[in-house]
């Protein structure tokens, strides 16, 4: 059965044809680990996971690479402002390396909680500085770079196809009407591949290079590391739609100028999560994380179910009402599935299950139409099929959704009712700990214990269990 994806490069749905038969090489832009990921970021990683699962379902052997940006991502896309990592470090009074390690761990934990399959490789930008320097040397040799007072820049006018992914209006930009740019840049779209360390300040992360001490530009790591792991030309590259105009456009410019080959065949991009009235500013430190949802007694699967109710290329609006609706929908589905599970000891296939499977595959192969697949699952659960047939299909479809139905136990995980009094005490204990009043924190822990609950500290927040 044909597999079709919407390719941002051509703005059309195309049949997927791999470069090498039976194999798919895929690169996904990972997080910048200077803070927690907000729930909107997780939408992109979930879409990529579904994509990977669909490829595996179609019998492809998938090599999946994801970078971890731990250096060089500046606050603005225009090569201005501070490095986000150094900013995170000064905010928290830690070293940049500690910040990177901490937020990488939290990110990986979030993926696990959402049952997102890990990539084959998580590659950190700081582990591949040599490869990035080599790429700049390659670009320099071919005449694509120039030097300014603050770094080495890529001259986008030298690359004739620049902006093909984003369909950028280069002439418009060049006229300087929409973008203001530094006087030293030759073209408004030029970007830094190497930034010099400031003369008056010691950076925590800096490296020697043929051009002087400094650090790589953010876009460079993805070109250099994807080529290192997947070769000059590979199948799929994905990320959020915000990457199209600058980050992915620059990745193509660097890679294709250096190798002289086509970089990637299919570019897939996930739409944003629209937060509506819910505050989501990372800079104010007040934004929704998966942990926050868990603290509010949602299961990560509730959030996953909410995300999967919309197609990855549709903008989805978040609200707690919508999340609550997803929560009841998921809990109802799970209850029905558990009933089916408990009533049979095996699964069985039949002509009907084959035809349902084909139908399901036609949905997911049509540019990942997961909402249709979910609706089909709902129908099957309440259909006339035998429970053994139903269970076969439930497990089969869950290879794509990744809800973990096979391991689901009788009671939804978060079903214990924690009295609000206990929650208040637990919050007060965190507050006491923050104020370094450890004596008070211990007293509260005992108080909670006396009332029959145990509080367990987690990386972000806490968990409460019934004793």
The neighbour count for residue 310, using CB atoms within 10 Å, is: 17
Residue selected from 24, 26, 29, 268 as contacting Zn ion according to rule CB under 5 A: 29
Q: What is the number of helices (H) and of strands (E) in the chain?
A: 15, 15
The neighbour count for residue 394, using CB atoms within 10 Å, is: 24
Q: Which is nearer to Zn ion, 222 or 257 (CB)?
A: 222
Stretch that binds Zn ion, among 24-32, 150-158, 342-350, 423-431 (CB under 5 A): 24-32
365, 54 contact by CB (below 8 A): yes
Tokens coding 158: 């030298």
Q: Which is nearer to Zn ion, 265 or 309 (CB)?
A: 265
Nearest distance from residue 28's CB to Zn ion, in Å? 8
Residue selected from 220, 222, 224, 422 as contacting Zn ion according to rule CB under 5 A: 222
Stretch that binds Zn ion, among 132-140, 215-223, 301-309, 432-440 (CB under 5 A): 215-223
The neighbour count for residue 146, using CB atoms within 10 Å, is: 15
User: Residue 260 phi/psi, 5° resolution?
Assistant: 75, 10
Stretch that binds Zn ion, among 199-207, 222-230, 317-325, 431-439 (CB under 5 A): 222-230
Stretch that binds Zn ion, among 176-184, 220-228, 339-347, 354-362 (CB under 5 A): 220-228
Count of residues touching Zn ion (by CB under 5 A): 2
Question: What angle in degrees, to the nearest 10, is found between the helix axes of 370-381 and 387-401?
Answer: 160
Burial of residue 115, with CB atoms counted within 10 A of its CB: 0-12 exposed, 13-18 middle, 19 or more buried: middle
Sign of torsion over alpha carbons 136, 137, 140, 141:
negative
Cα 462 to Cα 62, 98, 291, 430, 449: the distances in Å are 36, 21, 9, 9, 15
> Could you give the CA distance from residue 137 to residue 148 in angstroms, rounded to a whole number?
16
Q: Which is nearer to Zn ion, 37 or 309 (CB)?
A: 37
Nearest distance from residue 248's CB to Zn ion, in Å? 7
Q: Which is nearer to Zn ion, 224 or 394 (CB)?
A: 224
Nearest distance from residue 88's CB to Zn ion, in Å? 19
Stretch that binds Zn ion, among 51-59, 70-78, 218-226, 387-395 (CB under 5 A): 218-226
Q: Which is nearer to Zn ion, 191 or 298 (CB)?
A: 191
- The SS3 of residue 18 is coil
Q: Which is nearer to Zn ion, 26 or 222 (CB)?
A: 222
Q: Which is nearer to Zn ion, 77 or 427 (CB)?
A: 77
Nearest distance from residue 126's CB to Zn ion, in Å? 15
Nearest distance from residue 247's CB to Zn ion, in Å? 6
Nearest distance from residue 3's CB to Zn ion, in Å? 24
Stretch that binds Zn ion, among 22-30, 167-175, 180-188, 199-207 (CB under 5 A): 22-30
One DSSP character per residue, 360-378 reads HHHHHTBT--HHHHHHHHH
Q: Which is nearer to Zn ion, 223 or 291 (CB)?
A: 223
Question: Which residues sit at the interface with Zn ion, rule CB under 5 A?
Answer: 29, 222
């Amino acid at each position: 059965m044909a597999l079709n994806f919407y390719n941002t490069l051509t703005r059309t749905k195309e049949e997927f044809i791999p470069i090498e038969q039976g194999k798919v090489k895929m690169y996904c832009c990972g997080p910048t680990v200077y803070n927690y990921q907000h729930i909107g970021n997780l939408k992109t990683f979930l879409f990529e996971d579904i994509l990977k699962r669909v490829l595996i379902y179609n019998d492809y052997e998938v090599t999946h690479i994801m970078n971890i940006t731990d250096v060089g991502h500046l606050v603005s896309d225009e090569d201005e402002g501070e490095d986000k990592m150094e900013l995170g470090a000064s905010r928290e009074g830690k070293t940049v390396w500690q910040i990177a390690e901490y937020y990488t761990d939290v990110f990986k934990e979030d993926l696990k909680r959402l049952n997102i399959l890990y990539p084959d490789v998580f590659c950190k930008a700081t582990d591949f500085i040599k490869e990035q320097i080599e790429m700049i040397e390659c670009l320099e040799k071919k005449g694509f770079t120039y030097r300014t007072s603050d770094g080495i820049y890529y001259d986008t006018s030298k690359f004739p196809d620049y902006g093909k992914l984003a369909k950028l209006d280069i002439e418009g930009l060049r006229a300087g009407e929409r973008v203001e740019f530094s006087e030293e840049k030759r073209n408004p779209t030029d970007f830094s591949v190497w930034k010099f360390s400031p003369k008056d300040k010691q950076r925590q992360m800096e490296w020697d290079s043929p051009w002087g001490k400094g650090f790589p530009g953010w876009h460079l790591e993805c070109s250099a590391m994807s080529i290192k792991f997947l070769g000059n030309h590979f199948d799929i590259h994905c990320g959020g739609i915000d990457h199209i105009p600058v980050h992915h456009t620059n990745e193509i410019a660097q890679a294709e100028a250096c190798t002289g080959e086509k970089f990637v065949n299919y570019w897939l991009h996930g739409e944003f999560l629209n937060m509506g009235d819910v505050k989501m500013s990372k800079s104010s430190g007040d934004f929704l994380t998966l942990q926050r949802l868990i603290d509010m007694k949602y299961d990560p699967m509730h959030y996953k179910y909410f995300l999967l109710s919309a197609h990855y290329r549709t903008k989805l609006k978040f609200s707690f009402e919508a999340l609550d609706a997803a929560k009841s929908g998921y809990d109802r589905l799970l209850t029905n599935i558990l009933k089916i599970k408990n009533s049979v000891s095996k699964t069985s296939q039949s002509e009907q299950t084959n035809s349902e499977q084909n139908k399901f595959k036609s949905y997911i192969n049509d540019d990942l139409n997961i909402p249709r697949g979910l609706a089909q699952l709902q129908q099957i659960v309440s259909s006339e099929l035998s429970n053994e047939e139903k269970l076969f299909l439930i497990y089969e479809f869950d290879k794509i959704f990744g809800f973990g139905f096979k391991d689901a136990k009788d009671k939804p995980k978060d079903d214990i009712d924690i009295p609000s009094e206990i929650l208040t005490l637990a919050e007060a204990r965190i507050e006491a700990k923050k104020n370094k009043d450890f004596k008070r924190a211990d007293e509260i822990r005992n108080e909670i214990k006396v009332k029959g609950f145990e509080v367990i500290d987690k990386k972000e927040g806490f968990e409460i269990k019934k004793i």
